[in-house]
Every structure is written in structure tokens, then in C-alpha cells.
A and B are shown apart, each in its own frame.
Chain A
């Protein structure tokens, strides 16, 4: 700001002027210094060649400046209550409301509009080649800039955005580094030397009204007539006129200075409420970067505080734009993480603290801020228009609508995209089948239907629009407590994601010897329940894997299959129990325990479907072996019939040897050749009887299918059938259970073994012929 400027002058100017200009700059820039809160440490390099010694000198000068500034504000030169001193300054005669009257409006707008600046010879001279507005754009645009800023620029500047990200947290980063000043600025400085400052500026003194050399007289008269109040005039919604006005004069050939000039005349007197200000601060600072330093000319160009109707309008605009600026900006980052959101809040809050004392700023500070704000706003306006104009052009058919609806497209395309981006982000999930089950199923079915239709039509496969939500991998966040080097202990910062550890709960297993038997039993039961739950989860996982198998690519399928297999093995082990030794048979205890519990039986039914034949046979054998006991236990629950289906499915697959063994186990005639005493109880149980019938039916099928049946070769089968037949005859009809179903081939089976008479008896007793009772 100061340095290069003065460096510039050192060359062509005479020493006297140099001093004068330096002091002027001092006065003018002191406010700015405070506005920014920055020490004069920023050494700005000019774009032109600047020898090092000039920079050093500039630095030195800046240091000197700081002292001066401090003097001004806090030292002897400072005046505490500027408000009082300003009391008499405003033009009481003028009614603030008058300012808002339309006739004034049009005039002032036309006066303020850039045309005047463009005609300004000083400016034209100063700028050799009017740089296009969009190109230099806001290289260091802060992230606070809304979608409008980037509307025309696009993503290339995102990288710059990243660089200058205000979210890097510290206050220091909020204050942007001042990049090299453009040529324009320097030239302008040279032309716009403000008048020398005779005394240290008294805060509260009438604002410096001196105009730069090149200011057209129009400005002066206009500004002089305005009231220098800092009060906020009633905002008036005059959005449309500004829109239209600005579109014309805003061309690409405006330099930042010109914009600033424009900004000058408005919003000067606008007293920002805290809320708006705190958000605007980065904006202003962002603007500052672009304009480089605040040259004294900027100050000079805002002679007097202007309470203009334009102020009101722009204030309104600003405020209306604010809401739009903030969110789109934050959402501009592709993946808006919660961390950043928090950060944003922090920034805002820190800025509010930072801003808290702006109410006591020197009025020129405020003016400065305001004008930067205005610059920013006008820029955004410009960009916003560009963006939305593009939008309008694309909707040729809607042109009429747009004409009729002057308030249309208040929400720009960019903002709409931003909202939809957020919505998309909310749909990201690590496990879509878990998070959005119904949506997934619905779409699967839809696609299947479409696919079916496609097949019918034999047409080209249409690309159906599908919601492609990126699947985010589940990240494990383990909280590692922050530790400073060299210190003992760690800091604990608790948040919602890692709450403070209040209790150190450690699991201790008690090894009491006097644990009662009841307790043991209770524990055993608890363990069994746990096993059941774990196995159930395995079943669910396998189901998910099966679904996944269908979705996933060919390459990944073997892996999925493997997973499935391993889970099934685990399931089986859980159910059946582990073998103590490889040669020994697994004891039935574990299994029986499970089967005594209602949920265990249901679990067994589910698991049976997944097991291999051998494993399933094992399970069913165990069931049959212990069936009398289970029947007794099941008398209240009556859940055993749920096993019927899987068991019958299995039995129908069984070879003859296994079948025989099964029947043996079922009848309890494993040890002796005769059916056990428990056998009748099985017949009295629904499930038992059904299973029994199923076995017999399968036997009959096997028998009749092969000529030289294996089944018949084994005596056991024949013996068993004889035995059971005898039992059946013995059992009273009334006590027989009602089976779930009666296989049709039982009659044929019995006909092989008994005579005609007995067959008839059996038939009537067991209702084998299928006639209803």
C-alpha cells in the first residue's frame, strides 16, 4: 500500500512532493490500517521492477506509519466521542425519506453510474490498457464469494480458492496477504494525491472532503448535497432498477479502481449491523487483495458520508444477496464435510468477535469497509448478472415467462445446483442396503421390470437414469488425544464424535468358587442365548452377501462366495458345537440347549437351509436323537413344526443309508433293535409324526425307484418298518397327533409289509387314504 506507492514516486517526483504525498498517504491509510488490523508488515511489491532498497525503505516508512496511525487513533490525537461531534454535522433540513423518492433516485443513479468514470480522462490516462474485468479476477478470491463470483470464471480458480482458504483457521489467514499492486493503482495514486494533512486527523472531525484532482465536478456537487450521516436509512426494495442499470455500464473494461469509485458514492453512510458485517468482513478483505492497497485516492474519493437512496438500495441488495452468498459459497467445495461446517462457524464467530469494536471505528474506517463491500457487491452483481443472463438465454421458450416474471430466477442456477449437491451428498452412504433399503429394492424391481420389457421388445438397451450415489467407505475414526511435545499427559477435546471418557469401565470376570449351581445354569443359558444371537447375525450377513453377490462384478464374486462359505461354517459350528477332539463325536448337549429355546429352533430352521447335505443331516440326526426330550420341552412353545419344511427337504435328499440311520435314531432303536419307549411320544407330537411320515415316504420312494434297492438290502430298514408298524397299531388313534401333511405313498409302503387286513386297519387309523376325517 504505502511502500511501492512511495517507491514509485521517488523516481519522477520532487522530494517536496514526495513528502507531502507520503504524509497524505499516512492520513488516508491510517484508517485502513485499523480497518484491517494489520500491521504495516505487508510489503507489497509492485509489478514493475522495484529495487530492493526501495522496498526496505518502504518497510521502514511503513513502520513509521504504524506509529503515526496508532498516535492518531489512540494517542493524543484521538477523540473519544465522535458521535457528539457529528451531531451538528448532518443536514437536519433534509428528511431521510426524501432521499428515497424516485425523482432523486433516477438522477443519482445516473450520476453515479460508471459512465462518469469512464469519461474521466484521468482514469483513462492512468490505465494504459483497461484490463478485462474477468481475467484478473479474483485470483485470491476468498471462499466467501458466492457462486456469482465464479459464474463466469469456472473452476480454474478453485485452486486459488484452496490456497487462500479462509478456513485455515487462524485469524491471520482471514486477513489476506496483499498481492502485488496493479499498475492501475499506482497510476491512480500518482494522479490522485490527496491534499496534505495539516494536523493529525481528529477522529470525529469532519470527513476529508478533498477530492482528487481528476474527480469530475459532478461528483462533488452531488456529494456535497448529501447528508453525511451514518445512520441506516430505511431500506427500500428497489432491486429491479439497479439490475437494469448495472447491466449497461458494467463492462469488462472496468478497473477495480473504477469500481471502487462507483462503490464510493454509495453505501457510505450505511451502518452495518453486526450480523451482516461479520460476514462481510472477509468479503471486504477479499476485495482488498484485489485492489491491492487502499490508496489514499480511495479515501479522497469518498468525500463526505453520503446517505443516499442508493445506499439504501445497495444495502438492501447486499442483504438480499448475503443470504445467497453465504451458503453457496460454503457448498462450493465438492464434499462439504461437517468439519468444514464447524470451521465456518468458527470463522464467523471469530469474526464477530473481531468485529465487535467496529462500532467505534473511525468513520473513515467504516467508509472504507463499506466501499469495499460495495465493490464486492457490485462485482457480484456483475457476475451474477452474467451468470443468470446465461441462464435466461438457455431458456428461450421461457423468455416470455421471464418477461412476465420480473422476480424469476432469483435463485440462480448455481444455487440450485448447490442445493442439489447437498442433497446428493446426503445420499452418500457406506452401506446403501442398510441406509436406504426400500429405495434400493424399489429400483431393483423397477429395473427388472424394465429389463423384462426390453427383452420383449428386443430393442436397444436403454440407459435408465439411475441415481448414482457414491458409496463412501466407512471410515474408522479413532480419537487420538492431542499431546504437546514435552508435556505430560494429553489434552482431551471432547466433541460429539469422541465424547469425553467419564468412566473407566473394565470387564472383570469373577472367579468365585461359591458360585451356585443356579448361577452356572443361568450363565449357561445366557451363553446359549448369545450363541443364538451371533448365529442369527451370521444368517443375516449371509443373506446380505447373497444380495451383494448379484450386484457385484464378476471379478469380486469368488471373494463373496468365500465369505459366505466361511460364515456358514461358523454357523454350523455355533449350532452344533465344537468338537473336543477331531475323532470324537460332537456332543449333543450344546445343540440340545439351543433347541430348547424357541429362537434356537427357528434359527435351526433357517440354518438348515444354508447347510450342506452332510451337515444338515448331522443336525437332523441330532434332532431326531433327542426328539423325545425336545418334544417335552416344546410342549409350551410348539415351535418344532417350523422345522418340518427344512427337515423334509433334507430327508428327500437323503440316501438310503442315512435314511435308515435317521429312522433308527428317530425310533430310538439305535441301541436295541426295538423302538425305544419314547417312541410313542413322538407319534403324539405333530412334528414328530410328520417327520416320521416323511422318512417313511422317502423310504418308499427309494424302494420303488430302484430295482435292486439298496434299502432293501439292508435289513435294518425292513426291521424298522415292521417295528414301527407294530407300534402304530398299538397306539390308540385318539392319541395320535395330527400331522402337518400325510404323504400319499404311505399306503403303498405299508402294503409291502403287512397283510390286507392290517393294511385296512392302518389306513383307517392313520387316514392314509386321504379322506377327510
Chain B
């Protein structure tokens, strides 16, 4: 077996190979697929990948094939428990539907944001806004 018992206390992806994983990327995408290969930078080769879009209790999968992810773009990844996956309460819908839902959600969000800003401006308050992403 490929047991890494000579490296206790370390983190390694070797044990995760050939297992189904969920990978969260820095751009917000969620990928689900089988982890086939890794390297020292945690670059990943994900096989039979699905890009899963979640909106509320619904989700939609876009089949993507093989993904090669550069390690620095990974936020986190974790093995999917296949049993628990079956017991999930989320509802799967078609890709078109989920994209619609996503759009709707985005609209709602931008509307509330605009409203907030307007209200604050009326009252002479300044909302702290994020000029830059990520670090600040």
C-alpha cells in the first residue's frame, strides 16, 4: 500500500489519489472529481470533473472532463464520503436552470447592494467598500 507511515505529522495528498474529491478554487468554482495525480506544488489532475454550482438548496453540474489545476489556485480540497453524498438533501437541477437561478441571485444581491449604498449616501454615511479583493 502507499501508506505514508514514514511521514507522521505531515500533510500529503498521496493518500487521496484515485478518490473522489471536492476542490474549491480561488475564483470560487467548486470542482468535484477523482484526484488522479499530484506533484510537489499540489498541482492537481482531476478526472471526470464536474463543476458544481450551488444556489440555495439546489445545485447543477457541468461536466468538464479532465482538469489540471495549478496548486496555488486551490483554496481547499477534501475527500467526498460517497455514503454521505448519497444522503445529501440538496436538489439537483439542470445546468440551464441552475445558471438561471444563479443569475437571479446575483440580481438580488446587486439590487440590495445598490439600495444600501443609496440609503447611506442619503444619510451622509460612507460604506466601506472593497476596492481590492483577496488580501484587504
* Residues of chain A whose beta carbon lies under 8 Å from any beta carbon of chain B: 324, 327, 394-395, 405, 407-411, 413, 415-416, 419-420, 422-424, 426-427, 439, 442-443, 465-468
Contact = CB atoms under 8 A, between A and B. Distances in A.
Interface stretch (B30-38, B86-94, B101-109, B112-120): B30-38
Nearest to B17: A411
B7 interface: yes
B38 A419 contact: yes
Interface in B8-51: 8-10, 12, 14, 17-18, 34, 36-40, 45, 47
A83 B104 CA distance: 56
B136 interface: no
B8 A410 contact: no
Contacts, number: 56
Contacts of A411: 17, 36-38
Contacts of A408: 18
A415 B8 CA distance: 20
Interface of B: 1-2, 4-10, 12, 14, 17-18, 34, 36-40, 45, 47
B37 to A, nearest CB: 5
Contacts of A405: 18, 34
B70 to A, nearest CB: 13
B14 A467 contact: no
Tell me the interface secondary structure of chain B in the complex.
loop
A410 B18 CA distance: 8
B100 to A, nearest CB: 33
24 contacts: A324-B37, A327-B39, A394-B1, A405-B34, A407-B18, A407-B34, A408-B18, A410-B36, A410-B45, A410-B47, A411-B36, A411-B37, A415-B37, A416-B14, A419-B39, A420-B14, A422-B40, A423-B7, A424-B7, A426-B40, A442-B9, A443-B9, A467-B6, A467-B8
Contacts of A410: 18, 36-37, 45, 47
Given A407-B34, A408-B18, A416-B17, A427 B39 contact: no
A460 to B, nearest CB: 19
B40 A423 contact: yes
A2 to B, nearest CB: 43
Contacts of B37: 324, 410-411, 415
Given A407-B34, A420-B4, A467 B9 contact: yes
A395 B7 contact: no
B8 to A, nearest CB: 5
A424 B8 CA distance: 11
B62 to A, nearest CB: 20
Nearest to A336: B40
A419 B34 CA distance: 19
A426 B41 CA distance: 12
A465 B34 CA distance: 30
A407 B36 contact: yes
A427 B10 contact: yes
Contacts of B5: 465
A414 to B, nearest CB: 11
Contacts of A409: 18
Contact of A420 (B1, B7, B18, B36): B7
A465 B39 contact: no
A171 B2 CA distance: 39
A499 to B, nearest CB: 26
A34 B111 CA distance: 68
Contacts of B17: 411, 416
Contacts of B18: 405, 407-410
B85 to A, nearest CB: 17
